[in-house]
Amino acid sequence: MALLGDTMRTLTLCAFLCTALHAQALRVVATTHDLADLAREVAGTRIACEVLSFGDQDPHRVVAKPSTLLKLRKADALLLMGLDLEHSWLPPLLEGARNEALTAGRPGHIDLSVGIEPLEVPAQVDRSRGTDLHARGNPHYNLDPEGGRHMARRIAECLGQLAPDHKADFAAGLRAFEAKLDAKVKDWEPEWRRLKGAKFVTRHGFFPYLSKSAGFDVIADLENTPGLEPSPAHVAKVMQLMREQKPAALLVPSWKAGGLTATVAEGTGIPVLALPMGSTGRGKDATWLDWMSHVISELAAAVPETREH
């Protein structure tokens, strides 16, 4: 009986300590799984991270749930991609959550796009262009090794401001992550060589940062305005270009593999490469590094061997 009592006391103490340790962790909400994964790389168990969207769903159109309000309400920090990636769904949730710590300008509102040099910034934004999802420049910098490095650095910096006691731990986490990334970049060199100068067509502008880094060309985009269904005239023009220039593949997000994509692929004979546009926490795309490896290897595999430099 005494033994049972001791065991119970020990278990209770352990539970109490676990709860206390967990309570000390920063409560972080990340708008994408990439951000959550990088935050975990940097901060480890110093944070408890919730994810609002995954790489196999359109990050522009995340369907809000009431539980999201609760997550945002309880959070100490919000990690977001910025550059208006989340502009159609996050602002009403932030307004509803009524958590002053997460509002823009506060240390808890961590916009990862700060410090990024955005690509494809439109010279003019007005209604005549429809609902341009990339009005402040392309927000898909997560699809690039250097984009990942930037995100990790900024996460470490901003979390360090929120929890100065753990600044050194975050710096150590960042160093460890960068070491892993550097090793991966070295591993990707053969794929990088293969991709250089290759041609692709995309559906939605997910690839400008990677194409700039890897040196491949996106000769056309099926969408004439980001986020809108393309006009038939534009599709016809792109199909003609595809027939003439024979790109290695039509790169599409995994949720756009059917419908128009299939029609275009069938009409041109160009293979479709449907990929998640972020890490998903599962399988080949479990982490941001896994997903980058997956995307880079798939892209390189799509390039014909005769093209290799």
Residues of the shown chain interacting with another protein in the complex, contacts defined by CB under 8 A: 54, 56-58, 61, 63-67, 69-70, 73-74, 83, 92, 94-98, 100, 103-107, 109, 111, 113-118, 121, 125, 131, 135-137, 157-158, 161, 164, 228-229, 254-255, 258-259
The three-state secondary structure class of 38 is: helix
Is residue 36 within 8 Å of residue 14, measured between CB atoms? Answer: no
Is residue 110 within 8 Å of residue 154, measured between CB atoms? Answer: yes
CB of 6 to another protein, least distance (A): 31
CB nearer another protein, residue 22 or residue 65: 65
Helices (H), the chain: 2-24, 33-43, 66-74, 90-97, 145-162, 167-187, 189-195, 208-214, 232-245, 260-268, 288-302
Which residue, chain included where needed, has tokens 């990050």? 59
CB of 57 to another protein, least distance (A): 3
CB of 64 to another protein, least distance (A): 6
CB nearer another protein, residue 103 or residue 213: 103
Distance between CA 180 and CA 175 in Å, rounded?
9
CB of 254 to another protein, least distance (A): 6
CB nearer another protein, residue 117 or residue 266: 117
Tokens coding 96? 């509803």
CB nearer another protein, residue 259 or residue 269: 259
87, amino acid identity = H
Is residue 33 within 8 Å of residue 278, measured between CB atoms? Answer: yes
CB of 166 to another protein, least distance (A): 13
The three-state secondary structure class of 281 is: coil
Element containing residue 243 per DSSP (H, E): helix 232-245
| Strands of the chain, DSSP E | 26-30, 47-51, 77-80, 109-111, 199-202, 217-221, 249-253, 272-275
Distance between CA 109 and CA 199 in Å, rounded?
38
CB nearer another protein, residue 67 or residue 306: 67
CB of 246 to another protein, least distance (A): 29
CB of 106 to another protein, least distance (A): 6
CB nearer another protein, residue 158 or residue 299: 158
